[in-house]
Structure 1
Amino acid sequence: MATRLLAAVALLAFAAACSAGPATTPPGAFVPPPIPMAEPGALIEGQVNLVVWAGYAERSWTDPFTRSTGCKVNATVAGSSDEMVADVKSGQYDVVSASGDASLRLIASGDVAPIDVAKVPSYAQIYPSLKNKSWNSVDGVPYGIPHGRGANVLVYNKDKIKDPPTSLGAIFDPDPTVAGHVTVYDSPISIADAALYLMHAQPDLAIKNPYALDQTQFAAAVDLLRKLEPAVGNWWSDTGAQADDLKKGNDLIGTSWQVVLNALARDGHKEIGAVKPVEGVTGWSDTWMIAAGAKNPTCAYKWLDYITSPAVNAKVAEFFGEAPANSQACTKTTDPGFCATYHADEEAYWDNVWYWTTPTTRCLDGSDRTCVPYSAWVTAWNRIKQK
């Protein structure tokens, strides 16, 4: 992953007050008002500037949006969450499709504003389990519209690994036969995967939330990754590149996404399988957010409602490879089995999926401990890879 280090990690002074469940605001903290939207019939701005993940603003759905609203879509693709944070801070963008490892940073710094959900009719159709969460709200005030979600599954080569793995230990305490062929997602947030494994493998560490680690817990997760580093063949960030490495046998086991598995299956590579480990997995939930300094707020609100509407949410989900956030989107997919593959309607499947959330000094598990903030995760991750 191209890493653009966070330029203002100190912004976590506000985020430090966030706790488990919906994020909380420290007494006296300023919460900006929602971005205003022009009244019905008012002249729209004529454009909306987005910073997005690749696949979130394709012309097959941006062109119809422009024709129906008069808002031209100008989209910039970001290569990482850190890039998204930096891009929003530049003041050039109205809307961002932030994952949970970026959204709380943007809320904490005041770079995004609360959303007036009354201006987004599709919000009522979003799965309740994705609303008012620690990565997209503050004191129950939504800062965005959920877009989709995915799990970081355990992928493995069935020809080389005869016994299907059941635990994250297959990655973090790998068999010597896979040394040099372990694949791990290239991001500081992957420290949470190690923490999730330790939550079950070393209960004496008392980890309750893989994003809420005190210094001892964090050191244990980092140490585990340092020990793993010699066995890692690829720190992956590009799904296409990871698919190629799995095809060639360069990667035999590790973390991956359902979209990679689908691509491999389409190419006839049935030797690549995946499981959800007994410990559960980390995952991600993306949120459409409006910049606090948005110059095109009316078009921004129109985009949020359009992109999360059932038909469009289904189209993007199928193109990108994720479970849609709109509860009615599954009736609009071209593949009738799509939502079953991505577990979109299986709420029980998501019960032990730990969605990416920005680590803060005030522990996200609700305790009164002091936890290690994201800035330290970035530093540790770079050192792990440099070993």
Structure 2
Amino acid sequence: MKRTPARRTSARFTPGARTGVAIVSVALLLTACGTSQGGGTTEPTEAQTALGAMEGSVSLLAWPGYVEDGTNDPEVDWVSAFEDETGCTVTSKTYGTSDEAFSLMKTGDYDVVAASGDASLRLVGAGDVAPVNTDLIPNYEGIFDFLKMQSWNSVDGVSYGIPHGYGANLLMYNTEVVTPAPTSWDVVFDKSSAYKGAVTAYDSPISLADAAVYLMTHQPELGIENPYALDETQLAASVQLFKDQRVNIGEYWSDYLKEVQAFETGDTVVGTTWQVIRNSLAEGTPAEVVLPEEGATGWSDTWMIAANAKSPNCAYAWLDYIASPEANAQATEYFGEAPSNAGACDFTVNPDHCEIFHAGDADYAAQIWYWSTPIAECLDGRTDVKCTDYSDWTTAWQEIKG
């Protein structure tokens, strides 16, 4: 996936989490993911048991907008306070897609990575990240419970990181063209021909899970229980839905600014979006968003520590700091997503930020399936069938786009 930070003055998002997802064992995950995703050791690293002296520096790899030190905007800086408190000088690099992050972590140049769910299990399976001892991170206690120990940030009851922020992949529509107001994803799938040439979809293999969520309701005979755990038949059905949609697509999007422009000009009238995109539209643009009745996919990003981090103590210090109410509020509001720490709601610039984003709303959260890396060992717990993995999804997405 690729994301760009929102404008601070209007950054808002709708969050959610899916609980009860099966957690696979370390051994099975490494077998299923380590070999198929290309490289890395398959020997799990032990979690750190105690903190030592700070090393004086820490190298971070993150989405744009996650590590702001005032360089981009003098008024946007949560890094300097960390450096002053810990003595750990921060160097950082941004990346544009989860695939890029996965590749960069193999260089060994980074102590910490902020990974989305379509990369986190690949990093675990490749042996590129280490288990995280949450006892060494006091601010972990303030994280919403429904974000902890989920399939995208833990394996076999072992934590592999600290939740950062989260959001939902919503349906946006032009209120003058798409009438009546849609309540289902059918307007971009089975009924997309009504908007031929003006439909959009997020440009990533993980988008196949959007089709799977739709099929869970409309083709229950497929037996999909988890949109990231698809056997060959289930994946084929999801792929076919996107192939049927393809003729009606105006353009796929990965840069949110391009989708903003497309909705403002009317070139796009319906498709997948984020709340921050709706909030960034020019005043008067006839567009609204909805969480469809089938539910939706979403993301919950995780701060993870490199298996061979050169500065593990500063890395732990960063994970604790960025999970603090104050820093978590700054980072997630700036980017345009819900905070992971309940206490962050007291520190947002917009006092309505958490309400607008449904932060901490477990009922709303239950409608969302967070991105998780598809692996051969089915995430829904099935053992009588082999599931398709991320490489299968990548191949399928390339076939869809042609």
Whole-Å separation in 1 of the counterparts to 2:50 and 2:358: 35
How far apart are residue 37 of structure 1 and its match?
5.5
SS at match of 1:384: helix
1:307 aligns with 2:322: yes
Instruction: Give the gaps of 5 or more residues in structure 2.
Output: 3-19, 31-41, 70-76
**Cα–Cα, structure 1 residues 159 and 258, in superposed 2: closer, same or farther, change >3 Å?**
same
1:285 aligns with 2:300: yes
How far apart are residue 20 of structure 1 and its match?
4.1
> Among residues 125, 130, 154, which one is paired with 1:108 in the alignment?
125
SS at match of 1:172: coil
**Segments of 4+ moved more than 2 angstroms:** 19-23, 25-31, 35-39, 174-177
Q: Is the 8 A contact 1:172 1:228 kept in 2?
A: yes
Partner of 1:118: 135
In the alignment of these two chains, the number of paired residues is 365
Partner of 2:97: 80
Partner of 2:46: 33
Partner of 1:317: 332
Whole-Å separation in 2 of the counterparts to 1:282 and 1:213: 15
1:92 aligns with 2:102: no
Whole-Å separation in 2 of the counterparts to 1:103 and 1:132: 13
The farther-off stretch of 367-376 and 63-72 is: 63-72
Q: Is the 8 A contact 2:183 2:290 kept in 1?
A: yes
Whole-Å separation in 1 of the counterparts to 2:88 and 2:170: 38
TM-score, reference length from structure 2: 0.88
Partner of 2:220: 203
Whole-Å separation in 2 of the counterparts to 1:281 and 1:183: 16
How far apart are residue 21 of structure 1 and its match?
2.7
How far apart are residue 22 of structure 1 and its match?
2.8
- Counterparts of 1:1-387 in structure 2, within 5 Å, are 20-26=21-27, 30-35=43-48, 38-39=51-52, 42=53, 44-59=54-69, 60-264=77-281, 267-368=282-383, 369-386=385-402
Whole-Å separation in 2 of the counterparts to 1:145 and 1:250: 39
The C-alpha deviation readout for 1:282-323, integer Å capped at 9, x for no partner, is: 000000000001101111111111111001101111100101
SS at match of 2:121: helix
How far apart are residue 177 of structure 1 and its match?
3.3
**Cα–Cα, structure 1 residues 292 and 245, in superposed 2: closer, same or farther, change >3 Å?**
same
Instruction: Give the gaps of 5 or more residues in structure 1.
Output: 3-18
Counterpart amino acid of residue 23 in structure 1: V
Counterpart amino acid of residue 34 in structure 1: A
The C-alpha deviation readout for 1:177-210, integer Å capped at 9, x for no partner, is: 3111111111100000011111111111111111
Whole-Å separation in 1 of the counterparts to 2:349 and 2:361: 19
SS at match of 2:247: helix
Identity of aligned residues (%): 48
TM-score, reference length from structure 1: 0.91
How far apart are residue 270 of structure 1 and its match?
4.5
| Structure with the larger RCO, 1 or 2 (CA within 8 Å, 6+ apart) | 2
Q: What CA RMSD, in Å, does the superposition of the two structures yield over aligned residues?
A: 1.6
Whole-Å separation in 2 of the counterparts to 1:127 and 1:330: 12
The C-alpha deviation readout for 1:262-286, integer Å capped at 9, x for no partner, is: 112xx31351101111100000000
Q: Is the 8 A contact 1:49 1:95 kept in 2?
A: yes
Counterpart amino acid of residue 395 in structure 2: T
**Cα–Cα, structure 1 residues 298 and 37, in superposed 2: closer, same or farther, change >3 Å?**
farther
